[in-house]
Amino acid sequence: MKLAKISILNTYISNVTLDYGLEEVEKWLKGGVKKYKIFTPNPEIVVLGQKDGPFEKIINSADLALPDGSGLVWASKLLGTPLKERIAGVDFVQRLCGICEQEGFTIGLIGGRVGVAVKTAECLQKMCPKLKITLVESWDPEISADKISELHTKIDLLFVAYGQGKQEKWIAENLPKIPVKVAMGVGGAFDYISGTVPRAPKFMRDYGFEWLFRLVVQPWRIKRQVIGGRFFLLILREWVKKVTTLR
């Protein structure tokens, strides 16, 4: 059964809670031969999809599209189809690793800046001592499906951190070729888990101001805030259309 989704500017977002999403992924990992994709759309990805039709198609092919951004929750309410909750990719990754530890599933990590994947693996191992990590590769966007197949015969869950856009395209192209049941694009999750980049305090995350904290910590993200502004304007335009139609 397909998970419930809503459309925000033609990008489909899974309307699930964190716990329900985890339950579904656990079923996938215990299942048969079908392969599954998990993406974490945010306002930037939605705007990118507006400009890039093929990329939007890739995002919409996700079996689970987690609403990783308070802007999506705000937009869903304004457009009349509210999402159940925001699900941060890093929280989902950590909870998934707990499940993998309990059930004996193997995981792999690829991507991130030099050394970050290794440090992330070390931190995950401390959090989940019995977690089986069978592949750790730092940033290499050219890593081939053949290389993964040669190195390892079994990876139940693969986390891919090549950055927004690249990681989704890589998963769409390579998942059918590699011995992996579930692949998830994780963006900057490795940075947070490894402690390379500090995460916003919980109260800021709860009130939707994580973006502000990240901007202070990483000023170069100002370019992304411009994209966020475009998302805001696009949503307002959709809202005006809806209100005008209802009159």
What number of CA atoms fall less than 13 Å from residue 170's CA on the CB side? 24
191-241 pLDDT per residue, tens: 999 998 877 788 777 777 776 676 677 666 666 767 778 899 999 999 998
Q: By mean pLDDT, which of 107-111, 149-153, 168-172 is the weakest?
A: 149-153
What pLDDT was estimated at residue 149? 74
Give residues with Cβ within 8 angstroms of 4, minimum separation 6: 14, 15, 16
d(CA 96, CA 193): 13
What count of other Cβ atoms lies within 10 Å of the Cβ of residue 237? 11
d(CA 204, CA 239): 27
Q: Count Cβ neighbours within 10 Å for each residue of 164-200 and write b for 16 or more, e otherwise.
A: bbebbbbbbebbeebbbbbbbbbbbbbbbbbebeebb
Tokens of 185: 């694009």
d(CA 132, CA 152): 13
145, pLDDT greater than 90: no
d(CA 105, CA 28): 11
Nearest to 238 by CA among 1, 6, 5, 2: 6
Nearest to 65 by CA among 13, 5, 29, 9: 13
